[in-house]
Amino acid sequence: MGARRREWRLKVPRGPRPGDALAAALFPSLPTEVQWGLERTRRLLSTLGDPLSRTAILHVGGTNGKGSVARIWASVLQAAGFRVGLYTSPELIAFRERILVNGRPLPDDFLLELAQELREPVIREQPSWFEACTVLGFLALERAGVDVAVMEVGMGGRLDSTNVVKPAVTAITNVSLDHQEVLGPTVRDIAREKAGILKAGVPAYTGVQDPDVLEVLALEAGTVGAPLIRVPEPAGTVALDGIRTRLQTRRWGTVELHCPLVGRHQLANLAVAVRALEALPPRFLASTAQLQEGVARVRAPGRFQVERTPEGTWILDVAHNPASAAALGATLTEVDPPGPVIGVVGIRADKDHAGIVGAVAGALDGLVLTRPGPGSPEGAWAADRVGSLSETGVEIRVEPSFAQALAEARRWAGSQGTVVVSGSFATVAGALETLDLVPREALPPSSGSG
């Protein structure tokens, strides 16, 4: 797969989450498989008067961490007094999480009305479901009157439908193996796709440390004329309540920050986010106090989310590839949650099961394998696959029922121990629903449009 391949369609579903009535009602007749290319999205937006074309936009891509950077940006800009739109994907539980204004979802009726407004141009252009939802996100944030919009790449970058934006600043968090069947078999292939979001004259910040990946990004940046700024990972402390660091910045001088996101990898994400904020037009400059407040108030459900309940401690993390699983394992080792630490892992069939489990197993005292979420159509782990994982050195149990897997892990950990739920977005979503910990972003707003 070359970096300049033609547009093509891949039969990997990216449609409504099962059971999500709003998502199912938006564009029910559209294909859900990946459909590469930007022309349909551009034509649809042009038909609508190019929503957000006069709005400052921050655009972030990368294999892991892009959602965290997007949420840091949104939180700081909101603390600075702006009305901030945030478009991310995929959601944890409900479609409404994808389109937020000042951290809150827009009313379902409002989104359905906009989808109806899109009906005729959508029928004419026949975009994929994801493309139509991206256009809906642009239109919704424009109509909601945001001052600034934060956009997260869905997959890849070059041909992702968010890549029609003309941003004020760009970030690429990191690059590792994921979605190889779509983006290419090597890290360099994937890096070329990620680098496709770089734009002429638009400063781009990256936390990438791999020399091969940096070379690819630098070549693309030079080709398009984008200033590329490498951001080193800062020193800092990591604990169950988040990270603390002291950053050297151009606009705020030396600034001390506490962020509730947990993990050493989040230090790199925080540094990239803050450095990129420095590149925004002066009118979007936060004060030091606003920067500190915004960073301290970041919410990222499902990203090493720590919940303490009477039954014991739960940690929920959407790690779904070997790199993010390695970050999860390293974080568990560093913060040392109450033991025993038992994992509940459900991984999609198209992922690197051995790589994911192997990366996190060393930080666990036991592991329960299950299907990725209670409503998953994917079957339980095959016996031979479980056998191949036995050499991880941790005791592995198999429980096809998702609810029973959670219960088994809780019994195993006891009320003094910790259960870690991971492996996919669906696995974490299922746990949040089962434990009655659904994030507020997934709940319908009581009234108003954000």
Per-residue pLDDT tens digits for 320-342: 889 899 999 999 999 999 999 99
Report how far residue 104's alpha carbon sits from residue 87's, in angstroms, rounded to the nearest whole number: 12
Q: What are phi and psi of 236, to 5 degrees?
A: 175, 175
Other Cβ atoms within 10 Å of 166 Cβ, number: 12
- Residue 4 confidence (pLDDT): 39
- Residue 442 confidence (pLDDT): 94
Taking Cα atoms as reference points, which of 250, 238, 176 lies closest to residue 209? 176
Q: What are phi and psi of 344, to 5 degrees?
A: -115, 115
- Burial of 290: CB neighbours in 10 Å, binned 0-12, 13-18, 19+: middle
Please, where are the H alpha helices in 89-242? 108-117, 119-125, 129-143, 180-183, 187-194, 211-224
The 3 state secondary structure assigned to 311-335 is: CEEEEECCCCCHHHHHHHHHHHHHH
Report how far residue 52's alpha carbon sits from residue 59's, in angstroms, rounded to the nearest whole number: 13
Least confident among 11-20, 72-81, 272-281: 11-20
- Residue 10 confidence (pLDDT): 46
Do the Cβ atoms of 155 and 32 come closer than 8 Å?
Answer: no
Region 146-170: what's the mean pLDDT? 94
Residue 296 has pLDDT above 70, yes or no: yes
- Residue 17 confidence (pLDDT): 74
**Cα 35 off chain centre by:** 20
Per-residue pLDDT tens digits for 100-149: 999 999 999 999 999 999 999 999 999 999 999 999 999 999 999 999 99
- Residues 6+ positions from 254 with CB-CB distance below 8 Å: 246, 247, 248
Question: Residues, the chain, total?
Answer: 450
Report how far residue 352's alpha carbon sits from residue 436's, in angstroms, rounded to the nearest whole number: 30
Cα dihedral sign for 147, 297, 67, 117? Answer: negative
Helices and strands, counts by H and E, the chain: 16, 19
Percent of the chain beyond pLDDT 90? 75
Per-residue pLDDT tens digits for 355-409: 999 999 999 999 999 988 776 555 445 434 555 565 668 899 999 899 999 999 9
Which domains does the chain carry?
9-300 (3.40.1190.10), 305-434 (3.90.190.20)
CA distances from 50 to 113, 212, 313, 411 (A): 18, 37, 47, 54
CA within 13 Å, CB half, 118: 34
pLDDT band at 449 (very low <50, low <70, confident <90, very high): very low
- Residue 189 confidence (pLDDT): 84
Per-residue pLDDT tens digits for 190-244: 888 889 999 999 999 999 999 999 999 999 999 999 999 999 999 999 999 999 9
Least confident among 271-275, 334-338, 441-445: 441-445
Q: What are phi and psi of 368, to 5 degrees?
A: -110, 120
Whether the full predicted model's pTM is greater than 0.85, yes or no, is yes
pLDDT band at 450 (very low <50, low <70, confident <90, very high): very low
